[in-house]
Amino acid sequence: MPALESSDSSGSCLNESRKPAEPCTIVIFGASGDLTSRKLIPALYHLYKDRQMPPSFRVVGLARREKTDDSWRDELRVALDQFSRSGPVDDKVWREFAKNLFYCQGDLTDPAAYERLEQLLTSFGKAPLRENLLFYLATLPSQFGTVVEKLHHADLLQKDGAGWQRIVVEKPFGHDLASARALNQELTRFTRESQVFRIDHYLGKETVQNILMFRFSNSIFERLWNRDAVDHVQITVSEKLGVGQRGGYYEEAGALRDMVQNHLLQVLALVSMEPPGSLEAESIRDEKVKLLKSIRPIRPADVAKQVVRGQYFAGVVDGEPRPGYRQEPKVKSDSNVETYVALKLFIDNWRWSGVPFFLRTGKNLPVSTSEVRIQFRPTPRVLFAAQCGDNMDPNALALRLQPDEGIYLRFNGKVPGISLGVRPVRMHFSYDAEFGAYTPEAYERLLLEAMVGDATLFIRRDEVETAWQIVDSIREGWQGKPLSNREFYAAGTWGPVAADDLLAQTGHFWHEPRVMR
């Protein structure tokens, strides 16, 4: 994990042993798609601008449409003007960067396309540009196996070839445990597991990575990070937008598959895992898998007691009318697909025994935010707690992952004056204030790590399959059961009444994330 540099240089710790990226070629399958123009090319451009790219590199886009190198470059320049994170594009830097962009036309199922790709790679001359290959599969998951097989037969992807070859695949990694296993089997027919980089952009966010840094480099907090001091944990990933034009996808996926199986369980693993033996990728990923396997299974018969689903109906968000989910394009008029999920999970290990973890995510909620809240046990009902009653709030530590990245500690302070008044106050750390506004986009870091070969921020096969085991059991418990009235919520609210009931069972309630600025 990269170390953070303090504004006080005398106390900083810089990771100077980081392996540099070697000369290589990045091949993007699905080069005409939205992901390429919105995320991948802008990320590579900024890496080049910041001098993070290898000294020699090429980027090849492969797609079915007829294009020339120049026409593809022109398209990408227009997109970069819109999606660059740093304002106006530097024309000189772009011209230098664009010289390394090439287009290869072809159908993913056509062996001739891979022959043309091989000829283009060979034309680059230098051995590393032909042998060190990063294949980014920005395609449908159903095409992953085809692409891997064709690359292998074209002698572009080998388990033990010259140089190195790696493949990067986007989620979803299957739609259940069986399909995830089948997909993993397809991916590893012609590659080793170590060559497969399953990307979850959430893990590239600076503050998600900082969870481990915060936990394991600050002894004052790590001593409290257990069942003795923690009452419960809340993880919230809320989205202000509805499903919009993704209704067709959401009808197949739902919030459980789209968000819980990957993003929320990843954050849960980082927040609650044991200290790894080292900062090596496999050491960290081993601990994440151990944690996921320690989550108490939810039997289908118990799903109603531990999991709430919800679906939004018409409402207002920031003064803007929003249609209900069932009125969205490509959504069935009687759909029972969930746009909201809340869970109560228990981790059956020594550290967390008996501590409930509450997770929630949803569409059309009041704000877009991601936050982890560690709620500590309340003080005994004596002294100040006995006198101040409900004003004596339990201490809490919140890790804000997005937006307004930062950390705040909530504790009680005396209100100035002659009376003995108490009020909760916050000690606030802001990334912008301490380190400046610059934070690299998630895809910048993830692409660089893939070029370097560091798999720390990527998801391993057993990690994917363990997460699907948790999710599949929940889906089985929902099978054939329609949504109840308490599971619907108006757009612009914090979710269904049933989600409040879930916490009220144990005397808890949801804490709504607050604007930290």
Task: Please list the active-site residues.
Answer: 263
Q: What is the DSSP string of 440-453?
A: --HHHHHHHHHHHT
Distance in angstroms (rounded) separating the CA atoms of residues 24 and 129:
5
Complete DSSP assignment for 376-406: EPPPPSSHHHHHHGGGSPPPEEEEEEESS-E
DSSP letter at 139 equals S
Contact 192, 460 (CB under 8 A): no
252 — alpha (psi -120 to 50), left (phi > 0) or beta? alpha
- Give the 3-state DSSP-derived string for 490-510, with helices as H, strands as E and coil as C: ECCCCCCHHHHHHHHCCCCCC
Q: DSSP assignment, residue 300? A: G
Of 184, 120, 127, 188, give the one whose Cα is nearest residue 157. Answer: 188
Alpha carbons 18 and 111: distance in angstroms, whole number: 38
Amino acid at 261: Q
Q: Report the relative pairing of strands 369-376 and 230-238 from DSSP bridges.
A: antiparallel
Q: Dihedral angle at the C-alpha atoms of 70, 72, 74, 77, nearest 10 degrees?
A: -130
Contact 369, 263 (CB under 8 A): no
Which residue type is seen at 40? L
What DSSP assignment string belongs to 75-125?
A: HHHHHHHHH-TTSS--HHHHHHHHTTEEEEE--TT-HHHHHHHHHHHHHT-
In the block, tokens 């990527």 appear at 458
User: Dihedral, CA atoms, 87, 91, 92, 96, nearest 10 degrees?
Assistant: 100
DSSP 10: G
**Beta pairing class for 315-317 and 340-346:** unpaired
> Beta strand pairing status for 320-322 and 340-346?
unpaired
- Tokens matching residue 425: 């106050």
CA distance 111 to 156: 12
